[in-house]
Amino acid sequence: MAGLPLDLQLNVDVPAGNFADVAFDWLDGVSQRLAAEHRKELASLPARVAANKADPHGSLGETALLYGTVEVSRERVDAPAKATERICSDAGLRWLKEELQDFPSSVDLEIGQLDEAGFRSGWSLFLTVRRAAQSPNWLRLHAVVDEDRFNDRVAGPGLQREWLDVMWSYADRLDPGFGQVAYAYSTSGQTALEDRLRPQEYEREYREPEYTVNECRKFLRGYSWLTIVPKELVSKVGGLDGLRQSKAFEEVEELSGGGVWLLATADYRDYAGPVVEEVFRVLAPALRPGTPRPVVRYYPGERPHPLVFEDAASVAPRG
């Protein structure tokens, strides 16, 4: 089966004046750490508008078979969102810094490959920052990684650890209200739990990140291979000692802000079956109430949702 996209996500609440700093740090810092050679190749290019995604790029200044872009999107009242793109060069990043002063609804940074004809043929790094009016003090920091690449079937889980180290470095500084590594169920950043709460049964406020992020210090949005529990909810799930004694996690580490970093297994590929069940039982007291419904029929290549299809509110307290 082909790999599916994974969503590496942190939800951070920051003063509005710091939105630009946090967003730029995520986009620039992560790309420097994980795509340093590509950033170096792109550095001297101008900031001018990159070509339309449907047009060939090879003759437009990109280096060899490499491209890199930054894109800012702004919502408009009576028209579709307007997106503006620049090359991910030093000049393009300076342009981005200026754009972030009037903070947009979304920002993307993409680095990838061109085919021999000069067309974009796939990304190797995709980072994004999202902000929603319904959660006005929050930013959603995302990285989207192909599952097969993340698992690196040749070299083993080395890239997993590299990404976890990056996630830790930001989580430890930014005191997130939530964090996860899970399948990307939508472009909006839904968790598996949110994705399987049926619209017929639950309002958008229960299911859509635009709303649920605003309450992530009150209700845990979901659970996954990596789950970051905010400090406000740690006592609900047994405290640091209780989480360690549960034996449900490979790693239980306290973040500087008081939240807890929970990694279920050493290798992402082992997060399935009884492991998912145990993680759910431990975290149920902090999860948003609601009964997720399984998919009736998965299409070829899709992965089943790693969930327990029970209402977390019905789970008896541990102890």
Q: What is the pLDDT of residues 116-129, one digit of tens each?
A: 777 787 788 999 99
Cα separation, 244 vs 253, whole angstroms? 9
**31 contact partners, CB below 8 Å, separation of at least 6:** 39, 88, 109, 111, 125, 127
Q: Which residue has the higher pLDDT, 59 or 147?
A: 147
Q: What are phi and psi of 143, to 5 degrees?
A: -130, 135
Of 80, 133, 126, give the one whose Cα is nearest residue 107.
126
Please report the pLDDT score of residue 60 as a whole number.
Answer: 45
Residue 203 has pLDDT above 50, yes or no: yes
Judged by average pLDDT, the poorest of 11-25, 61-75, 106-120 is 61-75
| Average pLDDT over all residues of the chain | 90
Among residues 100, 261, 69, 299, which one has the least CA distance to residue 178?
261
* pLDDT exceeds 50 at position 207: yes
Q: Is the pLDDT of residue 211 over 80?
A: yes
Q: What are phi and psi of 239, to 5 degrees?
A: 75, 175
DSSP lists the bridge partners of residue 227 as 180, 262
* Beta pairing class for 120-130 and 82-87: unpaired
Q: What is the DSSP string of 273-302?
A: THHHHHHHHHHGGGBPP------S-PPTT-
- Measure Cα distances from 79 to 76, 83, 99, 136 in Å: 5, 12, 20, 21
H/E stretch holding 36 reads: helix 36-42
Q: Give pLDDT, residue 228.
A: 98
238, 284 Cβ separation under 8 angstroms: no
- Report whether pLDDT(1) > 70: no
Lowest mean pLDDT among 42-56, 101-115, 201-215: 42-56
pLDDT at residue 2, as a whole number = 52
* Residue 192 pLDDT exceeds 70: yes
The average pLDDT across 134-155 equals 88
Give residue for tokens 């019905």: 314
Q: What is the pLDDT of residues 249-288, one digit of tens each?
A: 999 999 999 999 999 999 999 999 999 999 999 999 999 9
pLDDT on residue 3: 65
The Cβ of residue 217 has, within 10 Å, a number of other Cβ atoms equal to 17
Q: What is the pTM of this model?
A: 0.92
* pLDDT at residue 247 in the model: 96
Instruction: Quote the CA–CA distance of 50 and 70 in Å, as a whole number.
Output: 9
Residue 16's pLDDT band (cuts 50, 70, 90): confident
pLDDT higher than threshold 70 for residue 51: no
Residue 80's pLDDT band (cuts 50, 70, 90)? confident
The pLDDT value given to residue 61: 45
pLDDT at position 114, please? 83
Which stretch of 20-24, 166-170, 182-186, 243-247 has the lowest confidence by average pLDDT? 182-186
Across 292-297, average pLDDT = 88
| The pLDDT of residue 154 | 56
158-164 long-range contacts (CB < 8 A, ≥24 apart) are 160/267, 160/268, 162/34, 163/8, 163/34, 164/226, 164/263
Please give the average per-residue pLDDT across 10-19, as a whole number: 90
Contact 309, 293 (CB under 8 A): yes
